[in-house]
A and B are shown apart, each in its own frame.
Chain A
């Protein structure tokens, strides 16, 4: 992607008001990151085409996109930052760790085949110390555990109840590490009268994009789009439960990577709760919920905010009798996907996470709900509270045999 040709980069509209500085979670915790006003439109005036990248600090941007949401001038700060990160990586190369993160799905597939071994290796303190020392993967951060069977393996032997077909993009994290999230999604959809179909899919490519490896992200997108397009053209709407994957598929594929036909796919891609809320509005999601007398906190992940659909899970959760939901008063969890695993980013991830922790603790709850797997990891680690995807609570609250 050529910066000069990109429609994304337009620093002219920035009026330097500094509203974005008010919301940036990284600028709030460290003075090393100049903040979105400088990192994006400010720096663009200095980036001359053909000049080498020297803005190493751009990698401190956590990619939360909150700056975009509060900018009244429509500056695409986060995309400017992403382009700058990508250019920097193109010129300076990528540390091995980041290369591995960019090719995460490959690692996941291999390790997922031998879950017990993988878990044993990754739990081993010596291995962790080596990973910390050599690859700068933060020692203190628990690595996700591989499930004994993947979601796909579960789904292969699962029979639905029939009904209107709906596609589901499960996301590789749920597949290997949190299959219950995906299972819950299937169960809720079935209760709503749908037959879940899994179109051909692979990793969405966000880990690659996040590392600045636009080429790899593009390769993965170019594989996914034809498969998803075929599904869509066969009449399927497709829902997703991972807001990170969903944002990548729905927006970055067309806006940033400009993959042909990605916009057609985007029109038929829906965040699961957004879809359910819509159904609810049309009177087509009449499932009965049992009482769930719990106090839970809800945290809105950054990618959900970027989807610009509001917080649809709240609309569904509020239907569950006796379930008390409190919204966490924090904008970012500090994980930033793979960002939080990086040792050099640890102080930032920790500091943002500390604010989040205090916000959760103030609510006095038993569990925390959030759609993003990265947020779940961070919140679980920092608060010790049970963290779930809201769809899991919704599934738990379904009346046995509930269905349209």
Chain B
């Protein structure tokens, strides 16, 4: 069986590529080992957190792009980014929708008691925009070790308490087990009662981000009704339940539209014939499976995803050996300080592409006739400090698929 498009990588950029292609009617195979960073550190949809506070995205981002002409966003411009974001958001109709709060970034509280800028805010985090400290109570759970309400509250200068629910206190509860329990009415009633007991006039209550998988707004509204407060989710240590919601939605959509969804396979080789890629080889010992396609999108991420690897001295792109934007000596990979000063140079290294997201060879020509790159594997972006990961993944995933199908 031959596919119109094979997407290598199951992170947000791969999923977005695959979605874009199936929506255009293409026969798609999406393959990956792991769920990308999606299920680990997703809060909102970041586009460019590094803009000045209060700036309107539609004005400030184009200016930022002009100053960073090598950045992936420069390949499609703000218009291209916006179009891709819309294509993403249409997967999430109300009540669990993603939308900006106002014109630009919104500062959302985190589990560490800091705030972070993000652009598209999921409905469950909306009440956290414009936090009023004196009117906010953060709640965690005794027996849940990935969020400590008092600690987060100390940073955010509001109040925080860990709820004592007998059923779960004193045990090692996980985010998913709590998310599941919250889908259950009796448990929610207990939680709500506990919150009410602890309120001292606060109007807003912050929860760790685990208000269920499938119907978070239903759970949120129920808790709001029972407590008489506005409720919001706070992103916490991995795994990320909000990220899992996004993953499951993409998976559902792709399978329903006939995509072949291979979660769990590492691609061991991309086969080529002259200027074109012809197939992917998936080593699933003892068997090797080969899938052929006309077009390929490589969205394998960075080190965690396996898009880049390194030995003690050199970095490389392991599947095709694509040239990277820089050949940094090991001692320049990381700065002496972890947090202060310059960003670590290693993060800017990646695969260089043309405006259509085709990777370039050493001479600046497209490496293959039918290969496109999406996601954080791309060079000249520093998503960690820009706070731009989801935006890059969505915009380049969208564009790569459209360019591929147009070819």
On A, residues with C-beta under 8 Å from B are 15, 17-19, 21-22, 24, 27-31, 34-35, 68-74, 250-251, 254-255, 262-263, 266-267, 277-278, 280-282, 305-306, 308-311, 314-315, 318, 327, 329, 355
Q: How far is the CB of B35 from chain A (nearest CB, A)?
A: 5
Interface pair A308/B264, CB less than 8 Å apart: yes
Interface pair A311/B263, CB less than 8 Å apart: no
- B176 at interface by CB-CB < 8 Å: yes
Known: A70-B39, A267-B287, A315-B258. 17 other contacts (CB 8 A): A18-B237, A19-B34, A21-B175, A28-B176, A28-B177, A31-B172, A34-B172, A71-B34, A73-B304, A251-B286, A254-B285, A266-B286, A308-B289, A310-B260, A327-B255, A329-B252, A355-B180
Q: Which residues of B lie under 8 Å from residue A266 when comparing CB positions?
A: 286-287
- B269 at interface by CB-CB < 8 Å: no
Q: Which residues of B lie under 8 Å from residue A70 when comparing CB positions?
A: 34-35, 39, 263-264
Q: Which residues of A lie under 8 Å from residue B25 when comparing CB positions?
A: none
Alpha-carbon gap, A355 to B177, bound state (A): 12
Alpha-carbon gap, A67 to B172, bound state (A): 19
- B174 at interface by CB-CB < 8 Å: yes
Alpha-carbon gap, A28 to B260, bound state (A): 27
Of residues 125 through 141 on chain B, the ones whose CB sits less than 8 Å from some CB of chain A are none
- B76 at interface by CB-CB < 8 Å: no
Of residues 106 through 123 on chain B, the ones whose CB sits less than 8 Å from some CB of chain A are none
Q: Which residues of B lie under 8 Å from residue A255 when comparing CB positions?
A: 285-286
Interface pair B40/A17, CB less than 8 Å apart: yes
Alpha-carbon gap, A35 to B287, bound state (A): 29
Alpha-carbon gap, A311 to B255, bound state (A): 9
Q: Which residues of B lie under 8 Å from residue A277 when comparing CB positions?
A: 1
- 18 sample A-B contacts, Cβ–Cβ < 8 Å, listed by A number: A15-B304, A17-B40, A18-B239, A19-B239, A21-B174, A31-B143, A31-B171, A70-B34, A72-B33, A72-B34, A251-B285, A263-B287, A280-B1, A282-B1, A308-B265, A308-B284, A309-B262, A310-B260
Using A34-B172, A72-B34, A329-B248 as known contacts, say yes or no to A19 and B263 having CB atoms under 8 A apart.
Answer: no
Alpha-carbon gap, A366 to B180, bound state (A): 26
Q: Which residues of A lie under 8 Å from residue B241 when comparing CB positions?
A: 22
Using A72-B35, A267-B286, A329-B248 as known contacts, say yes or no to A27 and B177 having CB atoms under 8 A apart.
Answer: yes
- B244 at interface by CB-CB < 8 Å: yes
The residue on B at minimum CB distance from A307 is B284
The residue on A at minimum CB distance from B215 is A362
Interface pair A311/B261, CB less than 8 Å apart: yes
- B326 at interface by CB-CB < 8 Å: no
Alpha-carbon gap, A69 to B266, bound state (A): 10
Alpha-carbon gap, A17 to B244, bound state (A): 14
On B, residues with C-beta under 8 Å from A are 1-2, 29, 33-36, 39-40, 143, 168, 171-177, 180, 214, 237-241, 244, 248, 252, 255-256, 258, 260-266, 282, 284-287, 289, 304-306
Alpha-carbon gap, A40 to B97, bound state (A): 37
Q: How far is the CB of B98 from chain A (nearest CB, A)?
A: 20
Interface pair A310/B177, CB less than 8 Å apart: no
Q: Which residues of A lie under 8 Å from residue B237 when comparing CB positions?
A: 18
Alpha-carbon gap, A327 to B264, bound state (A): 19
The residue on B at minimum CB distance from A277 is B1
Q: How far is the CB of B287 from chain A (nearest CB, A)?
A: 5
Q: Which residues of B lie under 8 Å from residue A71 when comparing CB positions?
A: 33-34
Using A31-B171, A281-B1, A308-B289 as known contacts, say yes or no to A74 and B266 having CB atoms under 8 A apart.
Answer: yes
Interface pair B265/A28, CB less than 8 Å apart: no
Q: Which residues of A lie under 8 Å from residue B171 when comparing CB positions?
A: 31
Q: How far is the CB of B335 from chain A (nearest CB, A)?
A: 21
Alpha-carbon gap, A318 to B258, bound state (A): 9
Interface pair A22/B261, CB less than 8 Å apart: no
Q: How far is the CB of A220 from chain B (nearest CB, A)?
A: 19
Q: Which residues of B lie under 8 Å from residue A308 when comparing CB positions?
A: 262, 264-265, 282, 284, 289
Q: Which residues of A lie under 8 Å from residue B282 when comparing CB positions?
A: 308
Q: Which residues of A lie under 8 Å from residue B287 when comparing CB positions?
A: 250, 263, 266-267
The residue on B at minimum CB distance from A298 is B255
Q: Which residues of B lie under 8 Å from residue A69 when comparing CB positions?
A: 33, 263-264
Interface pair B176/A22, CB less than 8 Å apart: yes
Q: Which residues of B lie under 8 Å from residue A18 when comparing CB positions?
A: 40, 237-239
Interface pair B40/A19, CB less than 8 Å apart: yes
Alpha-carbon gap, A315 to B256, bound state (A): 11
Residue among A18, A34, A254, A305 facing the most chain B CB atoms (10 A cut-off): A18
The residue on B at minimum CB distance from A7 is B285
Using A17-B238, A22-B244, A262-B286 as known contacts, say yes or no to A27 and B1 having CB atoms under 8 A apart.
Answer: no
Q: Which of A28, A68, A267, A309 contacts B174 (CB 8 A)?
A: A28
Using A17-B238, A27-B174, A310-B262 as known contacts, say yes or no to A72 and B286 having CB atoms under 8 A apart.
Answer: no
Q: How far is the CB of A197 from chain B (nearest CB, A)?
A: 22
Q: Which residues of A lie under 8 Å from residue B214 when comparing CB positions?
A: 329
Q: Which residues of A lie under 8 Å from residue B40 when comparing CB positions?
A: 17-19
Q: Which residues of B lie under 8 Å from residue A305 when comparing CB positions?
A: 263-264
Interface pair A19/B39, CB less than 8 Å apart: yes
Residue among B33, B40, B240, B261 facing the most chain A CB atoms (10 A cut-off): B33
Q: Which residues of A lie under 8 Å from residue B248 when comparing CB positions?
A: 329
Interface pair B284/A327, CB less than 8 Å apart: no
Q: Which residues of B lie under 8 Å from residue A262 when comparing CB positions?
A: 286
Q: How far is the CB of A88 from chain B (nearest CB, A)?
A: 21
Q: How far is the CB of B127 from chain A (nearest CB, A)?
A: 25
Q: Which residues of B lie under 8 Å from residue A355 when comparing CB positions?
A: 180
Q: Which residues of B lie under 8 Å from residue A314 when comparing CB positions?
A: 255, 258
